[in-house]
Amino acid sequence: MKAALEILSYPTWHWIDMVENPPDMPMWADALEAKFNSDSDSKPFGRAEFDNLLGHWGACTDRPACVFAEELVTAYPDAKVVLVERDPDRWFKSYSEGIIDSSDNPLMPFATLLDRSFLGGQAMINDILSKYCFKVPQPRETWLINNKEHFKIYRANAKATYLAHNEMVKRVTPPERLLIFDLADGWEPLCKHLGKPVPDVPFPRVNETAAIKEKAEAYIAESYKRSAITFVKRAVPVAVVMADVAAWWVSNA
């Protein structure tokens, strides 16, 4: 959908855009806590807050934005909504392999501990979503020790969460603003709904599962590399000082 919407000249927000702009991650975490956690001090997000996150985009897709379908429908009353309905089993295979398996990567806990500002921020978002949306009864960040029960429940609840989300979108969106869309239908229904001419290019086909897994592996590798560089930068001056002290002590012994 991101690829298709961008062909139609809508700059489109996606999870990857959040990940590659780390300052956005705490704001999304605040939005999720305000929505789901009655004890949170965060104020529920409205138009002003969503403008800070999404105001410079023409469209948004993916998580965690999709969690706020009802709030976004209200905040942007002129916006059209496209609900992509997929076969639940095919959706689960894609989501499990792309999102859950990437989180369950045995290298992920160490990478997030080493790189709290980047991968740690992603992990925080994933943990909040799994807790509140997928009903994983674990306190935040227990996944850092790769709690297998966490991921077992995450997978068990995934399809029911997906189906409930689709029904919620249908319930909260005025019918004249909603397109229930099958990607196999291509350009015609999408362009008609958005009032756009049909492009003279094929409808894009992207292997998002593979792309997400590739991104996750790249992020983990980058986190280890960044952490190693940071360690060397901090350790070398200490080692130099210790060597100077040792040399002075030897020379004055």
Dist. CA 109–CA 141, nearest whole Å: 10
Q: Which residue has the higher pLDDT, 231 or 101?
A: 101
What's CA 110's distance to the chain center, in Å? 19
3-state SS, one letter per residue, for 159-183: HHHHHHHHHHHHHHCCHHHEEEECH
Share of the chain above pLDDT 70, in %: 70
Mean pLDDT (the chain, rounded):
82
**What's the pLDDT score for residue 238?**
45
Q: What's the sign of the alpha-carbon dihedral 69, 15, 8, 49?
A: positive
pLDDT digits (tens, 9 = 90+) for 96-150: 887 787 776 666 666 666 666 666 777 788 888 888 999 987 654 444 555 677 8
**Residue keyed to tokens 């040399």:** 247
CB 127 within 8 A of CB 28: no
The token pair that represents 189 in the structure block:
């229904």
Q: Which domains occur in the chain, in start order?
A: 2-251 (3.40.50.300)
- Per-residue model confidence (pLDDT) at position 152: 86
Instruction: Please report where in the chains the tokens 């040792």 appear, as a residue.
Output: 246
pLDDT digits (tens, 9 = 90+) for 28-77: 999 999 999 888 888 899 999 999 999 999 999 999 999 999 999 999 99
H/E element, 84: strand 81-84
Q: What is the DSSP string of 90-148?
A: HHHHHHIIIIIHHHT-TTHHHHHHH-TTTHHHHHHHHHHHHHHTS-----TTGGGG--H
Q: What is the pLDDT of residue 50?
A: 96
- pLDDT tens-place string over residues 136-172: 876 544 445 556 778 888 899 999 999 999 999 999 9
